[in-house]
Structure 1
Amino acid sequence: MPILIGTASWTDPSLIESKQFYPPEAKSPEQRLRFYATRFPLVEVDSSYYALPSQKNALNWAERTPEGFTFNVKSFRLFTGHQTPPHVLPADIRAALGPVSKRNVYYRDVPEELCLELWSRFQGALRPLREAGKLGAVLFQFPPWFVHGREGFEHIARCADLLAGHRLAVEFRHRSWLNPEQVAGTLDFLRTHGIGHVVVDEPQGFSNSVPAVWEATSPEVAVVRLHGRNAATWNIKGADSSAERFNYLYSIEELADLAEPIRALSDATAQVHVVFNNNMSHYAQRNAAELMGLLGLAA
């Protein structure tokens, strides 16, 4: 299918607590994934951002979903330059790193040989999905302090080299990458390296928000991530969960406006992956089903 629609995670606490999507008998992660896969052809794994995924879990995901189902997997947080608490690192890596006086470590703090080992394990965890034909894009969502410049380009190219053979997609969260003066160079760079550009729908007017640039940069995949349009909560402080930040339900009219550029994007690449990240309650699942209806896509 040229357009796959799904949501970010199938186990979000706000979704489960809402009791608006899963039937009462779907009580375990396995049962929820099996049910989810009857409604949507795509899901984004976000747990891989917080800690390295395991081969066992990936194998279970592949076995519990039908043929043709697709998993997009978020990159481990250390690889994208996010702050990483040492306790989320594998025990042997943490031991090899030695005493850490800081609350968080960053990519630059970890010796090269340990970084390469982490990359190897990440690739290994992706292997069951890839061998099952169910691995979609590996999403690199860079932090707001990852700004346009030589070091940024070099790091993205390094990520692409270390995951050669995988489909990568990059989401920027600093406007310098896609401002009018830099957008053409950014897109050309992604095209040169065969990396998919992530089109975002999100509140505008913040340094950590970027405009929606409806361009495909990979012949294989483009990703559209819909974060909602709640400007009041975009940079909310002290939230108990990400659901509070992305508390937004798209209207049918707003979804209809998005349907046209999504169709156009699908003419420029082999597949478009549309991921709803408005993860308050069952909003993402509701909007994903509504958009599928507007685009004439069956569950």
Structure 2
Amino acid sequence: MIRIGCTSFSEHDYLTGKKVSTLYEYAGHLPLVEMDTGFYRIPSKENIENWIQQVPNDFKFIMKVHKVFTKHQELEAGQSLIELAKELRENMAPMIAENKLFCLLAQFPASFKCVRENVDYLRELRLLFKELPVAIEFRDRSWYDEKYLASTRKFMQDHEFSLVIVDEPKKLSTTVPLDAYVTNSEFTFFRFHGRNDVGWTATGPDAQKVRTNYRYKETELAELKQAVDEAAPHTKEIAIIFNNNAGGDAAENALQFKEKLHLDYTGLNPSQLDLF
């Protein structure tokens, strides 16, 4: 099955006509969401229980792991990765029990390069979440360098990671390529960030808003469809997340892509339009 969704559920007014939408309302339009709140704090069990109560049976979540797991932030005094991983697994138990977790997402920064120390850390990460599906996203091109690419792919396969298939700006030498290679036959994760070449390397307080400010054109969506078509025969489940929402374009592009793939989702939450 191919599921399409967006990052977060609250900010897609294109779907609901509202500036701030509930998860229940979002789940009336798409069967998948990426929850980035976990990057900043481990979600409580109460919040997770609330989320799963708002969505239909076949809805899935992608949970971004806390930034200490991806080297964006150092551990605080008294913290340990083992204890934090245990807390995350315990809090997510209701979602796992209800079969609503598509995967965990570990998105590493551009500073996380293909060196032995970081390869060893990925082994450690696999042990922390050994019973859970984990997708790995790199922001540094070294993992895709010609001399490392085959080893990167094999490492991901051997450790049952799904290497995220990423779409990023194309004119920068540092960004990763759109590589539709499947490293996990159980699940594959596509993440589309847009192609804002100028904004991608922005810094400062508004950098995040600028970086993903991009609307995909029809020709670009056709290119992304080719990548999905290439991967589909090699994996059981596909998740596609549009993360190009700084300008509010993700939801519209997601629905356009749904039409391009000829997908028809049933069993979603009833939407307001369904009442008339």
Give the TM-score of the pair, scaled to structure 1.
0.84
Deviates more, 1:239-248 or 1:167-176: 239-248
Q: Deviations over 1:160-201 (max 9, x none)?
A: 111111101000111111111111000000000111010111
Q: Is 1:227 matched with 2:217?
A: no
Of 21, 37, 56, which aligns to 1:47? 37
Task: Give the corresponding residue for 1:4.
Answer: 3
- Residue 88 of structure 2 aligns with an amino acid whose one-letter code is F
Of 259, 262, 276, which aligns to 1:296? 262
Distance 1:208 1:3, change over 3 A: same
Root mean square deviation, CA, Å: 1.8
Task: Give the corresponding residue for 1:68.
Answer: 58
Deviation at residue 245 of structure 1 after TM alignment: 1.2
CA contact (8 A) 1:147 1:176 kept: yes
Distance 1:246 1:266, change over 3 A: same
What is the CA–CA distance in structure 2 between the aligned matches of 1:204 and 1:210, rounded to whole Å? 8
Of 178, 189, 193, which aligns to 1:212? 178
Deviation at residue 144 of structure 1 after TM alignment: 0.8
Distance 1:115 1:207, change over 3 A: farther
What is the CA–CA distance in structure 2 between the aligned matches of 1:60 and 1:46, rounded to whole Å? 16
Q: Is 1:270 matched with 2:232?
A: no
- Give the alignment of 1:19-38 within 5 angstroms: 19-24=13-18, 32-38=22-28
What is the CA–CA distance in structure 2 between the aligned matches of 1:53 and 1:159, rounded to whole Å? 19
What is the CA–CA distance in structure 2 between the aligned matches of 1:110 and 1:199, rounded to whole Å? 35
- Give the alignment of 1:141-290 within 5 angstroms: 141-206=107-172, 208-240=174-206, 242-290=208-256
Deviation at residue 241 of structure 1 after TM alignment: 5.8
- Residue 14 of structure 2 aligns with an amino acid whose one-letter code is Q
What is the CA–CA distance in structure 1 between the aligned matches of 2:243 and 2:137, rounded to whole Å? 13
CA contact (8 A) 1:243 1:278 kept: no
CA contact (8 A) 1:174 1:207 kept: no
Task: Give the corresponding residue for 1:96.
Answer: none
Q: Is 1:126 matched with 2:92?
A: yes
CA contact (8 A) 2:64 2:104 kept: yes
Distance 1:207 1:58, change over 3 A: farther
Report the secondary structure of 1:231's partner residue: coil
Distance 1:233 1:241, change over 3 A: closer
What is the CA–CA distance in structure 2 between the aligned matches of 1:239 and 1:271, rounded to whole Å? 36
Percent of aligned pairs sharing the same letter: 32
- Residue 35 of structure 2 aligns with an amino acid whose one-letter code is V
What is the CA–CA distance in structure 2 between the aligned matches of 1:21 and 1:38, rounded to whole Å? 9
Deviation at residue 213 of structure 1 after TM alignment: 1.2
- The aligned length equals 265
Deviation at residue 208 of structure 1 after TM alignment: 4.6
- Give the alignment of 1:63-142 within 5 angstroms: 63-83=53-73, 106-107=74-75, 114-142=80-108
- Residue 141 of structure 2 aligns with an amino acid whose one-letter code is R
Q: Deviations over 1:230-288 (max 9, x none)?
A: 10100112242623211100012211221122022111111111110001243100000
Q: Deviations over 1:73-109 (max 9, x none)?
A: 00100011002xxxxxxxxxxxxxxxxxxxxxx14x6
